[in-house]
Structure 1
């Protein structure tokens, strides 16, 4: 598996993970009959993370230059999310040089 494929898979699985979080987040608020309008910023934020990771995975699969830059930025930001984010951030940064194969 090439480095860009590893990056694409990590981003794709992160988009799935954020999608599952969004689904459960909305379900909890619906089942608890809480006012969901108070959490719209969190819902939109998760939606943005889903879109960023999904489109980055598509770009990484095609070895797009912009996707490499986004992947590096997201990898650096994920280093602060200890412990799982740190591991995934290191994987993204290690696999950020797609030209070496």
Structure 2
């Protein structure tokens, strides 16, 4: 499997996890006790939504194998290295797989074109 597809899958998984986590935390805050709890949930939803969108856009660019996807993935990976221990492992995996991308005109294998 080409490395850009591995990076794509990790970013797609992280986007889903951050989206679900943001919804869960926002829901817990919004349905908690207090009448202003709905307004308190909006910043949490906004932050997790932005992180989810960032991983989603990076996943799409990584699947296409663009240089922008590689750069964004490396920047995210470097930031994730600070999140010891799980973020460090994910960041190292992303850095390792974002070092070699297929050339833009290079044909991809059949596995690379499947969208799981």
> What's the TM-score, normalizing by structure 1?
0.91
Cα distance change, pair 69–89 in 1 and its aligned pair in 2 (3 A): same
Runs of at least 5 residues in structure 1 that lack an aligned partner in the other structure: none
For the aligned residue pairs, the C-alpha RMSD in angstroms reads 1.7
Pick from 41, 58, 62 the counterpart of residue 64 of structure 2: 62
Partner of 2:32: 32
Deviations 1:24-67 (A, max 9, x none): 11221133134131343222111110001011101100101111
Aligned length: 101
SS of match in other structure, 1:80: coil
Determine which structure has more spread, i.e. the larger CA radius of gyration.
2
Higher normalized helix content (fraction of residues): 1
Query: In the alignment, is residue 15 of structure 1 matched against residue 15 of structure 2?
Result: yes
The equivalent of 1:72 in structure 2 is 74
Asked if 1 retains the 8 angstrom alpha-carbon contact of 2:4 and 2:62, the reply is yes
Match of residue 97 from structure 2: 95
Q: Give unpaired runs (5+ residues) of structure 2.
A: 109-116
